């Protein structure tokens, strides 16, 4: 365990690179990069919103001259992102005009050969439609068609992908989320749903704990609000197994043993109880089961146990417990990586209970903050299409007919075991399972077994390489949409700034084209609408409730600037929790019904084995977002190749030195990657940041089993993936 206080930072800790709110304007305005003259009479500006799966959902101003996107800057009217972007945001023109972008519909024959041929949209739609009708005739339904779609573009109109599938009939759907489901369930059991304080409200916190959250890389626009609080004397504590960029800036950094966060929270709770720092009045008035939980802690939890389990010295547990309990208000921000363990949801529930016992729930500057969906109340018009008359679907145990759902987080296995009828065709959109799903070998085998695979994408990534047909997708600059955040409270409109390049189409436009072809071949076989401009489709997503929340009468008002939802800065400030009891449920009967502990008690972490003793952690990268962005020229310049980070003590044990190629392996598979020796990880953990590198076979998921986390099914349909419970051996290659 490493313990670093800010004034003592040095060496490896101080050397940690950081992507903060650096001003890239001098770089992006260079004539050789994006020649843009904002004062030109021919320059036009548009409002766009980054639709990626990221906390910040940045508002942008896009500069267009003579139909060409010249430059992207932050929108100064966006109160959370405040006119600044990350490197990925400033690099957007490089993505739009990348020479590698898929420009036309293409077919590959045979699949996986790399023998791609350009085809027309008519040929693509004809081929796809005939395959759908063939499968429907052979199996009596469209259930052999499986949709796998998630978060490549979070625009609301992009739910037209689901709408396209619904319009064909009942299909097989990948259900769940690989990102944050265990934490969602944890807060659903406790509060009724996930709902975080306004992140701008962190300026009012007197004490801040970032628990497994590397905001300096993954939520950079929250850093100024944290820094403003610190200017007023707020202490920043970062708890993380890795010395991240965020950790290097903390007043107190605690390097915890992975997956033991709940043990640390329980140790803190024990010390708070022993010193009577509990807000008994709040906890008893607003929760059920609190005294039962206190009894459990008194009986089963000691500081010595918590220290041994977590690797955190007992005096540090006592220090942060005292400071958190006695400094009001205090804010905790729980990162998504923390719940990617077999006990991850349970650990979040324990941390939630800490917030309750100190009275920090519902308070400005407080909260146990994880995420929210309060600003997502759109119509989802694009996804609500009825199945054609006479469609046959999957009959659920309760007798309802509909789509057949399979586990997104065990996709290869669940697709392969379907038999009545089997899955024969995949439609992939806004996802790259070839790079991002667990057990890559199984994914490759499953793709190879399909009769037909269609992928909609912008680049020839690993999933496209395993497809029969790829359809070129528009970027968000080429379409109308609306974007909400799962973190801040702002909502913004996304204008069509440039015409779609080459022959790219949006997901709704693809649905329109497919519907026309399906009905031309067989009348009534598809219900997807065949008309409407992109802006008309956008308009149908708004409703009086959303307009009222945003303080607008018409969506077009968002063209003048994004709007912040009319919500209190502190979640749960009205005390109206959405649980069955209408109170915080420290004791959750729903959790118990689902086979989980009713109370936030300790559940053991996954242990290593003698054969594979080293934990392999694969967090989010700095210069990419999952498999997006890293393939661009700017990103390859700053981060040209993947590496595995190894502590010098561990490296010496296996005869590995800086720059050596290292084989990282277990019984599932292996990767070979260059070693980087660093003390930012611990001697029993190796780290490699997940991403897709252009022209590289690097993929951390060759070693990753589809081990489920403990929660997720209640709210999202399936449990998450324990990405960080992956154990390997290493050797010099």
Residue ranges of domains in the chain, CATH in brackets: 3-96 (2.20.25.90), 106-179+384-484+500-535 (3.40.50.740), 196-370+575-593 (3.40.228.10), 614-732 (2.40.40.20)
pLDDT over threshold 50, residue 408? yes
Asked whether the predicted pLDDT for residue 39 surpasses 70, the reply is no
pLDDT tens figures, 618-649: 999 998 999 999 999 999 998 999 999 999 99
Per-residue pLDDT, 26: 29
Over residues 466-478, the mean pLDDT reads 98
Give yes or no for residue 500 having a pLDDT over 90. yes
Rounded Cα gap, residues 62 and 115, in angstroms: 37
* Pairwise CA distance, residues 514 & 494, whole Å: 25
Confidence band, pLDDT 50/70/90 cuts, at residue 14 = very low
Provide the percentage of residues in the chain whose pLDDT is more than 90.
93
CB within 8 Å of 325: residues ≥ 6 apart: 268, 272, 275, 277, 278, 357, 358
248: left (phi over 0), alpha (psi -120 to 50) or beta: alpha
pLDDT at 18: 30
| For residue 521, pLDDT beyond 70 | yes
Q: What is the sign of the dihedral through the CA atoms of 271, 276, 281 and 284?
A: positive
Over residues 160-183, mean pLDDT: 97
Name the residue with higher pLDDT: 13 or 72: 72
**Residue 41, pLDDT score:** 74
Beta strand ranges found along 320-445 (DSSP E) = 330-334, 368-369, 394-395, 401-402, 404-407, 425-429
Is residue 147 within 8 Å of 167, Cβ to Cβ? no
Residue 31: predicted pLDDT: 33
Spatial distance between the Cα atoms of 504 and 153, rounded to a whole number of angstroms:
15
**Residue 88 pLDDT exceeds 80:** yes
User: Is residue 36 pLDDT above 70, yes or no?
Assistant: no
Considering the chain, what is the average pLDDT of its residues?
Answer: 94
Res 725 pLDDT > 60: yes
Cα–Cα distance for residue pair 525/520, rounded to 1 Å: 9
Rounded distance between C-alpha atoms, residue 733 and residue 714, angstroms: 44
Taken in order 703, 706, 711, 717, the sign of the CA dihedral is: positive
Query: pLDDT digits over 342-362, tens only?
Result: 999 999 999 999 999 999 999
Q: Is the pLDDT score of 308 beyond 60?
A: yes
DSSP H helix total and E strand total for the chain: 27, 30
Judged against a pLDDT cut of 50, whether residue 4 lies above it is answered with no
CA distance 142 to 132: 7
Q: What is the pLDDT of residue 6?
A: 33
> Is the pLDDT score of 146 beyond 80?
yes
DSSP state of 641: S
Is residue 470 pLDDT above 50, yes or no? yes
pTM for this one?
0.94
Please report the pLDDT score of residue 37 as a whole number.
Answer: 65
pLDDT one-digit tens code per residue, 269-285: 999 999 999 999 999 99
Residue among 224, 187, 211 at smallest CA distance from 268: 211
């Amino acid at each position: 365990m490493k313990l670093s206080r800010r004034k003592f930072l040095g060496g490896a800790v101080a050397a940690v690179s950081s992507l903060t709110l650096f001003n890239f304007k001098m770089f992006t305005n260079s004539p050789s990069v994006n020649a843009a003259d904002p004062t030109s009479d021919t320059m036009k500006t548009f409002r766009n919103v980054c639709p990626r799966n990221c906390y910040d959902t940045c508002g942008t101003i896009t500069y267009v001259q003579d139909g060409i996107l010249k430059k992207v800057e932050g929108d100064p009217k966006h109160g959370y992102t405040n006119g600044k972007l990350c490197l990925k945001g400033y690099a957007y023109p490089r993505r739009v005009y990348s020479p590698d972008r898929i420009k036309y519909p293409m077919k590959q024959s045979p699949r996986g050969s790399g023998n791609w041929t350009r085809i027309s949209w008519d040929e693509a739609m004809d081929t796809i439609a005939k395959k759908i009708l063939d499968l429907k005739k052979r199996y009596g339904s469209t259930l052999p068609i499986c949709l796998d779609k998630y978060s490549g573009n979070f625009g609301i109109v992009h739910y037209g992908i689901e709408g396209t599938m619904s319009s064909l009939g009942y299909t097989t759907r990948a259900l769940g989320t690989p990102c944050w489901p265990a934490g969602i369930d944890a807060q659903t059991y406790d509060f009724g749903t996930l709902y975080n304080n306004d992140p701008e409200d962190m300026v009012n916190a007197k004490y801040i704990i970032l628990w497994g959250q590397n905001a300096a890389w993954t939520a950079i626009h929250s850093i100024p609000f944290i820094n403003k609080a610190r200017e007023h004397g707020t202490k920043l504590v970062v708890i993380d197994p890795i010395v991240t960029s965020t950790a290097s800036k903390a007043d107190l950094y605690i390097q915890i043993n992975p997956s033991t966060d709940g043990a640390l929270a329980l140790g803190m709770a024990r010390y708070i109880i022993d010193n009577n720092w509990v807000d008994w009045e709040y906890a008893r008035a607003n929760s059920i089961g609190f005294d039962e939980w206190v009894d459990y802690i008194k009986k089963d939890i000691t500081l010595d146990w918590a220290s041994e389990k977590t690797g955190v010295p007992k005096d540090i547990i006592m220090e942060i417990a005292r400071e958190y309990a006695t400094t009001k208000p205090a804010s905790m921000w729980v990162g998504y990586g923390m719940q990617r363990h077999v006990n991850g949801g349970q650990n979040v529930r324990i941390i939630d209970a800490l917030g309750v016992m100190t009275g920090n729930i519902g308070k400005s500057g407080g909260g146990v903050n994880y995420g929210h969906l309060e600003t997502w109340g759109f119509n989802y018009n694009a996804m609500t299409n009825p199945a054609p008359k006479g469609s046959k679907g999957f009959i659920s145990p309760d007798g309802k007919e509909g789509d057949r759902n399979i586990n997104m987080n065990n996709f290869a296995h669940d697709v392969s075991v379907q038999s009545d009828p089997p899955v024969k065709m995949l439609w992939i959109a806004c996802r790259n399972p070839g790079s991002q799903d667990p057990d890559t070998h199984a994914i490759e085998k499953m793709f190879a077994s399909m009769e037909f695979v269609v992928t909609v994408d912008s680049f020839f990534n690993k999933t496209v390489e395993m497809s029969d047909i790829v359809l070129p997708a528009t970027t968000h600059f080429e379409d109308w949409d609306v974007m909400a955040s799962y973190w801040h409270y702002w909502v913004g409109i996304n204008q069509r700034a440039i015409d779609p390049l080459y022959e790219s189409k949006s997901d709704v436009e693809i649905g329109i084209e497919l519907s026309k072809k399906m009905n031309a071949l067989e009348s009534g076989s598809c219900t997807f609408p065949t008309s409407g401009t992109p802006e008309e489709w956008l308009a149908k997503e708004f409703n009086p409730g959303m307009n009222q929340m945003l303080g607008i009468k018409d969506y077009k008002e968002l063209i003048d600037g994004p709007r912040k939802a009319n919500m209190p800065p502190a979640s749960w400030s009205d005390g109206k929790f959405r649980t069955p009891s209408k109170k915080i449920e420290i004791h959750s009967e729903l959790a118990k019904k689902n086979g989980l502990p009713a109370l936030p008690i300790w559940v053991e972490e996954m242990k290593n084995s003698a054969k594979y003793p080293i934990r392999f952690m694969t967090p989010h990268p700095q210069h990419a977002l999952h498999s997006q962005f890293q393939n661009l020229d700017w990103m390859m310049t700053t981060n040209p190749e993947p590496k595995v980070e190894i502590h010098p003590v561990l490296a010496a044990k296996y005869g590995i030195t800086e720059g050596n190629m290292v084989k990282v392996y277990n019984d599932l598979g292996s990767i070979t990657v260059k070693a980087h020796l660093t003390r930012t990880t611990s001697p029993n953990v190796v780290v490699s940041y997940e991403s897709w590198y252009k022209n590289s076979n690097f993929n951390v998921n060759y070693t990753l089993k589809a081990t489920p986390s403990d929660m997720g099914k209640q709210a999202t349909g399936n449990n998450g993936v324990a990405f960080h419970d992956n154990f390997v051996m290493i050797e010099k290659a």
